Homo-oligomer: A and B are copies of this chain.
Amino acid sequence: MGNSAVPPSVTELIETLSELPGVGPKTASRLAFYLLRGKSELALRLGDALKALVERTRFCSVCYNVTETDLCPICADETRDHSQVCVVEEPMDVLAMERTDQYRGVYHVLHGALSPLDGIFAENLRINELETRIRQGNVREVILATNPTSEGDYTTSYLLTRLKPLKVKITRLGRGLPVGGDLEYADAVTLLRALESRQEI
């Protein structure tokens, strides 16, 4: 039942949309039927945007951020400090750092965090490339900016052992209370980190 009421091309779109993270069958149906309601222009534009994404994007040959050029605009920017490298897990993290409007160094995108249980080992991330990049000299400081999760912390510990012999300054982002947060609602681990990293005022 129901099958005869939904044409194959609609079913196909619903099933494909359902493969996106956070999109269940209900949301997928809603989106597909929305696109059917005189939104063919939007459907075609979305189709073209997806094709362009696959065809035009690649990884920067230096920092592995997503880019449309061999060297990403940040690596190609001579006004930035190329001796300061901020190591992040994903391209979206670069975006978050750029939003601070203060960081003037460059980046290195690992494309994930170590998670042996999920089969993600050092060789699956851009760690060898980071080591090579630092070995080539000209890097003064490496800022480890992995996510404040167990995988992120594990990745930072691993990177520390790998990069220590290279005699480069290694820092990591401060831990503590998020700005705008409420002490009452802070979890115990965050509060503990905030206590540990307390500063004299």
Contacts and interface: CB of A to CB of B under 8 A. Distances in A.
A7 B68 contact: yes
Contact of A54 (B6, B44, B57): B44
A138 interface: no
A198 to B, nearest CB: 31
A47 B48 CA distance: 7
* Copies of this chain present: 2
Given A66-B10, A94-B5, A95-B6, A36 B50 contact: no
Contacts of A9: 49, 52-53, 56-57, 68
Interface stretch (A26-34, A146-154, A162-170, A171-179): A26-34
B2 A21 contact: no
A158 to B, nearest CB: 21
Interface in A15-56: 16-17, 19-22, 27, 29-37, 40, 42-54, 56
Q: Is the interface of A mostly helix, strand, loop or mixed?
A: helix
Given A12-B52, A36-B53, A47-B47, A74 B4 contact: yes
A56 B31 CA distance: 17
Interface residues of A, number: 60
A42 B111 CA distance: 18
Contacts of A45: 16
A65 interface: yes
A90 interface: yes
Contacts of A101: 1
A77 interface: yes
Given A4-B77, A5-B95, A12-B52, 12 more contacts: A1-B99, A1-B101, A5-B73, A5-B98, A6-B95, A7-B68, A12-B49, A20-B31, A33-B92, A35-B53, A47-B47, A47-B54
8 contacts: A5-B73, A9-B53, A16-B49, A17-B46, A20-B31, A36-B91, A37-B90, A40-B53
